[in-house]
Amino acid sequence: DSGVTQTPKHLITATGQRVTLRCSPRSGDLSVYWYQQSLDQGLQFLIQYYNGEERAKGNILERFSAQQFPDLHSELNLSSLELGDSALYFCASSALAGGEQYFGPGTRLTVT
């Protein structure tokens, strides 16, 4: 158990809909990262937050947005969903000073 929690574990929704994925980082970690992993693909970095502020942005679509709240949990919002958005979405957290990321179990999103 990495200490990073993600909810829900599975999500099935229809095209055009909007969903919210939630992540709670490990205790004491201020940085949260979101990744997308499609079937048999590598990890695509989406976005990073540090202590409530956006720190780095990767290949995140305009239909996607995220935020980190004062209690440090983060949410990833996906809207106008398309079939191609079906993927495993990981959240990871790390401490401030250069360290490893600890990953949550992921949320498996299926868009039908």
Partner 1 sequence: AQTVTQSQPEMSVQEAETVTLSCTYDTSESDYYLFWYKQPPSRQMILVIRQEAYKQQNATENRFSVNFQKAAKSFSLKISDSQLGDAAMYFCAYRADNYGQNFVFGPGTRLSVLP
Instruction: Supply the minimum distance, in Å, between the C-beta of residue 51 and partner 1.
Output: 10
Residue 64 interacting with partner 1 (CB under 8 A): no
Instruction: Supply the minimum distance, in Å, between the C-beta of residue 80 and partner 1.
Output: 25
Q: How far apart are CA 73 and CA 86, in angstroms?
A: 23
Of the residues 5, 55, 73, 95, which one makes contact with partner 1 according to CB under 8 A: 55
Distances (CA, A) of 111 to 20, 30, 75, 80, 81: 13, 31, 19, 11, 7
Q: How far apart are CA 23 and CA 91, in angstroms?
A: 6
Which spans of this chain sit near partner 1 (rule: CB under 8 A)? 31, 33, 37, 42-43, 45, 48, 50, 55-56, 58, 88, 90, 92, 96, 98-103, 105-106
